[in-house]
Every structure is written in structure tokens, then in C-alpha cells.
Amino acid sequence: MSRRSRIPNLGGATAYVLHRPHPTAQTMVRQLSAIGLTAIDCWPELPPAALSADFVFFDVDLGFDEQFPWQPGEAPMPLIALIGSEAPGRIEWALFTHRANAHLLKPVGAAGVYSSLLIARQNFEERKQLAARIDALQARVAERHTIVRAVAALAKDSDYEQGFARLRSLAMSWQVSVEEAALRVVAMAEDKDGAGDGNDQRNHA
């Protein structure tokens, strides 16, 4: 039984090279085409079509935020920084503001392009998975907080076991999850409190 390679096939992928007209851009297009990608060079900004690209290479030396059709750090594909000047401010802009997933030093030669594509894709996917896990954990924490608020609203004489039992009973009656039932209970409690505040304001008018 042959072992399946974990190296993705890049043939047919699309890469944009955001770089001023220069031999570096020409070299990039040649190297990417030789690997099997469709390479498109552009300057001074990415076209809207780049939103569907598989990779974007961008010039760090002359780059600026308005070149990208997305907010800094929110690229929908792997970014590869083309670095000529190692000025700290430029590197910080590429790595921390735009969160480049890999980089190449200029002048770009015959080697390094393929490995930069693989490294960028791997780092991009790991970053997405980490963000998804963080979002899931935050959602779970929010759900637990909502359940606590719902139980408190349903509890009589601070009997939280009774409050939770009532919440589960409501969830079964509504045929929803406990989390969804908690959201409804909290919403109803907030509406009731809001109505009460309105009545108090009218009574004092």
C-alpha cells in the first residue's frame, strides 16, 4: 500500500504578483508558470478578481494598505512577502499588519518559489484552524454564560437546581437545545425588564 503524499498539487492554482514592473515580477511569473500555476502580475493594486486567487505575492518595499481589497490581516488566501529591504518597519508591516504566511528575499532566483507556496499554504491553513477553535471556545463560553443567566432568571428563592430543571423542561417543551432555550429565556427576561423600566418612567412622569 503506497503512502499518500501530504504535499498538495499546486497545478491549476492562481497566483497574483503585486509588484511594480521589474525583472523580479517577470521572474516570479516565469517560476510560477513553470510550477503549473496561472500567474498574473499587477501594480499598483490588486483587482477585485484577486479575491478568488489561491496565492498573492506582494512587494514589501513599496507596498501600502490600500493595494489590497480587504482589511489588513484579513486576506482570504495565503500571502507571500517579497522582501528586498530589511528595514524593520517594512518587515513589521508585512508580518504583523498583513500577516504574511511566507516570504522570499529579492532578487528572486530559480529556487525558493515552490517551497514558499507550500509553507504559505500550510501556515495559512493552520492559522484558519486555530481561529476556528478560538471562535468555538468563545461561543461555548458565551453559551455557558447565557445558561447561567437563564437559570438565575428561572430560579425561585435562589434554588438554582430548580432553575436548571425548569430550563431543561422548557427546552424539551420547545424542542430546542438547552442553549437555545437559555437564549430565549434571557431575551424574555430582558424584554420584561425593559418594559418594567418603561412603566417606571411613565409612573414618574
Q: How is the chain split into domains, by residue range? A: 14-110, 137-204
Query: What is the edge-to-edge ordering of all strands in the sheet holding 55-59?
Result: 38-42, 14-18, 55-59, 79-83, 102-105
pLDDT at 199: 54
Give the mean model confidence (pLDDT) for residues 82-109. Answer: 94
CB neighbourhood size of 11 (10 A): 9
**What is 14-110's CATH number?**
3.40.50.2300
Predicted pLDDT of residue 203: 52
Beta bridge mates, 56: 16, 79
pLDDT in tens, 125-183: 999 999 889 888 888 888 888 888 888 888 877 688 888 888 899 999 999 998 899 88
**Residue-level pLDDT at 201:** 47
Note if the pTM is more than 0.85: no
- How far is it, in rounded angstroms, from Cα 132 to Cα 124? 12
Which tens digits make up the pLDDT trace of 184-196? 998 988 887 665 5
Taking Cα atoms as reference points, which of 150, 144, 141, 145 lies closest to residue 182?
150
The fold adopted by the segment(s) 137-204 is Arc Repressor Mutant, subunit A (1.10.10)
pLDDT at 205: 47
Check residue 36 and give its pLDDT: 94
Q: Could you give the CA distance from residue 112 to residue 32 in angstroms, rounded to a whole number?
A: 11
